[in-house]
Amino acid sequence: MQNLLPFKKTVREILIRKEAETDEKYGCKPEDRATEEIINYGIVNIDKPKGPTSHQVSDYVQKILGITKSGHSGTLE
């Protein structure tokens, strides 16, 4: 676990509320989207873990995605 960002050290369980199919004419499943497509549309939802500040998480996002701008909306603490 050395050299990992703080949020990478926590193992999280994925919860599924309801299984559903997506009609291809309306798009695709979120997990099938390319990272570039998600970044180009400008929103990445993050479940901020306890510990790092919002500013630190924004910095992590920049480093991970190789971008120069990121920010948050609202209070995340």
Q: Could you report the per-residue pLDDT of 44-56, keeping only the tens digit for each?
A: 778 888 888 888 9
Beta-carbon-side half-sphere exposure of residue 46 (alpha carbons within 13 Å): 26
Q: Where are the alpha helices (DSSP H) in 23-53?
A: 35-40
Task: Confirm whether 76 is domain-assigned.
Answer: no
User: Is 6 a domain residue?
Assistant: no
Q: In the predicted model, is pLDDT for residue 1 greater than 60? A: no
Position 11 in a domain: no
- The answer to whether position 8 is within a domain reads no
Q: Structural domain tally of the chain?
A: 1
pLDDT at 61 over 60: yes
- Report yes or no on 4 lying in a domain: no
Share of the chain above pLDDT 70, in %: 90
Q: Domain range spanning residue 31? A: 27-70
Whether 76 shows a pLDDT value over 80: the answer reads: no
* pLDDT digits 0-9 by tens, 15-26: 888 887 778 888
